[in-house]
Chains A and B, each alone.
Chain A
Amino acid sequence: MRAWLFWLAVALVIGAVTHLSYVLIAPSFAMQRLMVGESEDAPVNRFVLLDAAAQMRLLGETENEAVSAKCVFDIGDGELSIAAEMPDTFWSLTLYSNKGADLYTINDRQAGIDRFKLTVKRAPDLSDILSSEQSENARALSDGWSVEVPEPRGIAVFWMALDYPEQRKLFTDILSRSACTFTASQNALP
């Protein structure tokens, strides 16, 4: 009887560990897969236009419905400058952490312009950032926008709607002028 209780307790402990792993750890791996896509060596801190298959994997939308791009970032020892050029349509730019949390998002109506620069920096104090709202983290600067994020790794997703499939070529041409540029911090330089 005691032995059965012991094994039952062990099973429950394993169950609890599995439960927490499923909810807390496995989604991070799933997010990693979403971020890098099919290729194991996805470029980091570089702007990448998504082809039809990659867009379907990341956003679940076909090439006739939207145009998208991504920039997988790692700003552990520096900052990222996103120079976005968007067409005159409905678009959004969203930053996710590598755990799937939304860090920052903006669309065409909120931005008011289709060409801007967004600087992504690591937040100086994690607890301050976690206790504040997103709007408080984003501050308009004279040359564009600056956002401080609590997570050093993540992905920036550029998205724009297509009214009809023939717009794809034009929108892709405009979006491809965007860039992600990483600048190492002074402390990280040799």
Chain B
Amino acid sequence: MRLGSLIKGVGVLFLGGIIGIVSAQWSVEKTATAMTAGGGPWKSWFSGTTSIRNPYVNAHYLMFGRLPPTLGQELLFEARYDDEGAALDASCDYVIEGPRLTARWWHLALADEDNSQPAAISLTSSQLIGEPDGSMRITISRQPKAGNWINPRDLSRFELVLKLRPGSGLNAGAAVVTLPHIRREACT
């Protein structure tokens, strides 16, 4: 009888813990808003117009080992899917293209799918080679490509993290930023 109660107690504890963690992760995920001027797969947990006061938003950044973006200095966008809605997969080539970002400094990084560790795979605005028409085009591929090329190395599935630093100190809203498209090309 006692053993039965003990097993039941442990089971309930386990079940409660799972319910709590899953519901918290779901709530954190739900606080993100699709924020691009032209639609697309980019999401932001930070509006850019007011300081972060929502604990779910704060948890999103800190639980994945990132400092939350600061008001007036930074905007942070994340994408786990391409324009067609398929998960980003390092065995495929992707082209990220669109108008050149207007931020004073920006940083595009590939993060591990579980997002727990920042990957040292990135490109910044100062490294970008602009297209003749003024737009930008970045290729993610395991094979060397001409122009702006990011090698996903040993990542399998990944997430794109785009950090913009407008530099003006003004509270630019995340919703008005035009972000690049993520187009999938060939997969191996």
Contact = CB atoms under 8 A, between A and B. Distances in A.
Interface stretch (B7-15, B37-45, B130-138, B177-185): B7-15
Given A61-B122, A102-B68, A134-B71, A18 B21 contact: yes
Contact of B20 (A22, A96, A107, A157): A22
Contacts of B27: 19, 23
A18 B70 contact: no
Nearest to A105: B70
Contacts of B25: 22
Interface in B148-174: 161, 163, 165, 167-169
Interface of A: 7, 10-24, 26-28, 30-31, 33-34, 56-62, 65, 90, 92, 94, 96, 99-102, 105-107, 109-110, 134, 157, 161-164
Contacts of B30: none
B51 A134 contact: yes
What 5 A-B pairs have minimum CB-CB distances, sorted nearest first? A18-B20, A14-B16, A15-B19, A60-B118, A22-B24
B126 interface: yes
Contact of B51 (A30, A99, A101, A164): A101
Highest count of chain B CB atoms <10 Å: which of A15, A58, A157: A15
A19 B20 contact: yes
